[in-house]
Amino acid sequence: MQLAEAGVQNDHAKLERTVSALVAEARAKQHHTLADRLAKALGVVAPPQRQAPRAVGGTFLPDKVRDLIIERPARRSIDDIMLPREVDAQVRDLLEEQHQADVLRANSLDPRHRVMLAGPPGNGKTTLAEAIAHGLGVPFFTIRYDAVIDSYLGETAARLKRVFDFARSTPCVLFLDEFDALGKERGDVHETGEIKRVVSSLLLQMDDLPSYTVIVCASNHPELLDRAVWRRFQLRLELPMPDRADFRRWLDHVGADRKSLGIDPASLARDLEGGSFAEAEEFLLNVKRKIVLAKGDPKAIVTQQLKAWKRRFVPQTGVAEGNGARDTAAQSE
């Protein structure tokens, strides 16, 4: 339907996007002959199938983006992570839309594919992006800002374009962590005109992504993002700091019960409150290491590690500063 509309309207850009989507779908279904014919008809050069460098997950990476993105293995599924119930439901809806993309396109609709994740660090933004890639069974690419951002900002826009051109060529999840590094508010008087042009170029590239390419952006400081950036995202999900009830559910989820730890999970959840899921996961792993190596009383080990846990916020730069931090920590407890 979209192909016919593009032909009737003589809309070459729409025609190219539609055929590119068909090519990607054909390759995903291992119909390489059909994909090559469609690509040739459109004048698109097929990606090399031999002697091309492989990323971590096995995807062929052309030279133009080899140093700009990293492919990470997507090992965790949506069932492996703890999410707020509303966020979990919306992510599952996104996965369902992508899996049923053919049905939607047959009715002149596209699945959602632009996602913004906001919230403090350590609460699952990167893991959620990985889980989306796992659920879709597609490569999981992360942009390397150290390679993309250049002192010559015109080069930054050119490198971004190369990344997005590649992302358009294959179904994937493209992850941009710390997105505020690129998507800053263009009204900021402290930013240069070149930075604003980079943001404008980024927005155009995002708009031009086909729906089989899922772009997931994450920010610890969403207040810094350009207002036009927010409009681009069809899903805007917040991953807040977990509270006591969240930790209680998480402990059940990971199988940390009284029998394994020698302590009431409800009590442990209370003690973990104030930290992030990433910190709590590292705490639990450390406890398990101690239990395995020391072969001691699990409850005594947990109690000892909780003392270290409560000291993790105390700066070590000076006695006076440390005392002030301990006072603050005591008040929060």
Q: 189: buried, middle or exposed (CB in 10 Å: 19+, 13-18, 0-12)?
A: exposed
Residue segments in the chain with a per-residue pLDDT below the cut of 70: 1-17, 20, 23-36, 38-58, 151-153, 181, 183-195, 313-333
How many C-beta atoms lie closer than 10 Å to residue 46's C-beta? 14
Q: What is the DSSP string of 66-130?
A: TTTEEEE-----GGGS---HHHHHHHHHHHHHHHTHHHHHHTT-----EEEEESSTTSSHHHHHH
Q: How far is CA 20 from the centre of its chain?
A: 24
* pTM metric for this prediction: 0.74
Query: What span, in angstroms and rounded, lies between the C-alpha atoms of 254 and 289?
Result: 15
pLDDT tens for 78-106 read: 999 989 999 999 999 999 999 999 999 98
Contacts 24+ apart (CB under 8 A), 183-191: 183/217, 183/219, 183/225, 183/226, 183/229, 184/224, 184/225, 184/226, 185/224, 185/225, 185/226, 185/227, 186/226, 186/228, 187/226
The pLDDT value recorded for residue 247 is 92
3-state helix, strand, coil in the chain (%, to 5): 55, 10, 35
pLDDT tens for 190-249 read: 455 566 777 788 888 888 899 999 999 998 887 777 777 778 899 999 999 999 999 999
How many CA atoms are closer than 13 Å to the CA of 164, on its beta-carbon side? 20
Q: Phi, psi (5° rounding) for residue 287?
A: -60, -45
For residue 318, the SS3 value is coil
- Judging by DSSP bridges, how do beta strands 140-143 and 235-238 pair with one another? unpaired
Query: Cα-atom radius of gyration of the chain, to the nearest Å?
Result: 24
- Yes or no: say if 198 and 153 are a contact pair by the CB < 8 Å rule: yes
The pLDDT value recorded for residue 256 is 85
Query: What span, in angstroms and rounded, lies between the C-alpha atoms of 227 and 231?
Result: 7
- Yes or no: say if 18 and 5 are a contact pair by the CB < 8 Å rule: no
E strand or H helix that includes residue 218: strand 213-219
Round to the nearest angstrom and report the end-to-end CA distance of the chain: 61
The pLDDT value recorded for residue 165 is 92
How many CA atoms are closer than 13 Å to the CA of 178, on its beta-carbon side? 8
CA-CA-CA-CA torsion sign (84, 89, 94, 95):
positive
